[in-house]
Amino acid sequence: MRGKRIKGKTAAICSIVLIIAFCISIKNCPKTVSIKQAPEIKLYLSRENCTINLPLEDYIKGTVAAEMPANFALEALKAQAVCARTYTLKKILDEKKYPKGADVSDDIYSCQAYISSAEFKHRNPQNYKILWDKITKAVQATSGQIMIYNGEPIDALYHSTCGGRTESAANAWGQDIPYLRSVSCNYCQESKYYQSCQVFSKQDLEEFESLELGNTISLSISERSSTGRVKKLKINNLFVSGEKFRQILNLPSTNWEFSSAQGKLIVNSRGYGHGVGLCQYGANGMARAGADYRSILKHYYCHFDFCQLQWETNK
């Protein structure tokens, strides 16, 4: 497998890695890959600083529960389940290391969120059963399904709200990834982050080191990506990247229009998140308009194939 050694995994994970590695080694990747036993995941729980082992499909339920509102349409939840499963297998194949030798982590900054069914029940005491059953249905209906490109699981990135057009990997990180191109999205208007407004006083801007704050705030955009997101801007004397500006002011995205009034800076933002890959609110909008999960995924990711991992319990 590209010279990488596979070690320290459970037997189940090894089996899945080896089978996908086999899949990679042949020119035309099969649409179905059989695995003897259902894979098991070693998950790092960051707050508890411990690991737990659980079946892959149970882990996927917990990520869907944590990453997408359960009142979204069933087909959107199914799309999320395929994304989460693909993302997980990509992490395993890349041999990403998490604390205590875990395969994945519930830390959203380095992996994807996860909550247990007990935590989900705590958060949804009124309608826990209906919503958990719906998540279970979405995961079971897509059991073992992943997205592949060139025989490998894709990097199935997703975000809350794109604001009208998703971002390409090339614009976001400088690397062109054929399945992570920018696509239009007319489906995420229901998100409160489709368009949002944030207002900052001069004191708020003191967070920027070396920024000279005079009587006025002068702000100009130096560079936008082809999809409209701000890559670089100048505020008074200081040039700063759009991403750093977003982090310091805790803004929802880097797609902005600026104005000022009464000495304050007004930022109108579109979207929430990095904008790459699946737009979750867009997926819900497409599902409510009648699209199934496969059409949703085909809209947000380009040039990939579906692959069915099959083991005895999901045959």
> 143 or 284: whose CB is closer to Zn ion?
284
Binding mask 241-280 for Zn ion (x = CB under 5 A): --------------------------------------x-
Residue 162 within binding range of Zn ion, rule CB under 5 A = yes
CB of 37: closest distance to Zn ion in angstroms? Answer: 38
User: Which residue, 85 or 299, has its beta carbon nearer to Zn ion?
Assistant: 299
Exposure string over 101-129, b if 16+ CB within 10 A, otherwise e: ebbbbbbeeebbbbbbeeebeeebeeebe
| Beta carbon of residue 222, minimum distance to Zn ion (angstroms, whole number) | 26
Helix spans in 34-111 (H): 56-67, 74-93
Q: For residues 229 and 159, what is the distance between their CA atoms, to the nearest angstrom?
A: 15
153 beta partners? 148
Q: Judging by DSSP bridges, how do beta strands 264-270 and 256-261 pair with one another?
A: antiparallel
Nearest to 309 by CA among 18, 8, 98: 18
Does 183 bind Zn ion (CB under 5 A)? Our answer is no
66 part of the interface to Zn ion, by CB under 5 A: no
13 part of the interface to Zn ion, by CB under 5 A: no
d(CA 108, CA 111): 5
Beta bridge partners of 260: 265
The answer to whether residue 185 forms part of the interface with Zn ion (CB under 5 A) is yes
Nearer to Zn ion, 9 or 274 (CB): 274
88/284 with CB nearer Zn ion: 284
Nearer to Zn ion, 38 or 185 (CB): 185
Complex with Zn ion: residue 143 or 227, whichever CB lies closer = 227
For Zn ion, the binding residues in 186-225 under the rule CB under 5 A are 188
Shortest distance in whole angstroms from residue 80 CB to Zn ion: 14
* Segment near Zn ion (CB under 5 A); pick from 32-40, 154-162, 253-261, 303-311: 154-162
Residue found under tokens 């490998």: 152
Nearer to Zn ion, 188 or 287 (CB): 188
Contact 295, 219 (CB under 8 A): no
Which is it for strands 195-200 and 145-149: parallel, antiparallel or unpaired?
A: unpaired
CB contact at 8 A, 233 and 226: no
Is residue 282 part of the contact set for Zn ion (CB under 5 A)? yes
Of 303, 286, 256, residue with least CA distance to 184: 286
User: How is the chain split among helix, strand and coil, in percent rounded to 5?
Assistant: 35, 25, 40
Q: Taking contact as CB under 5 A, which single stretch among the options 14-22, 77-85, 142-150, 157-165 is the one that binds Zn ion? A: 157-165
Q: Which positions touch Zn ion (CB under 5 A)? A: 162, 185, 188, 279, 282
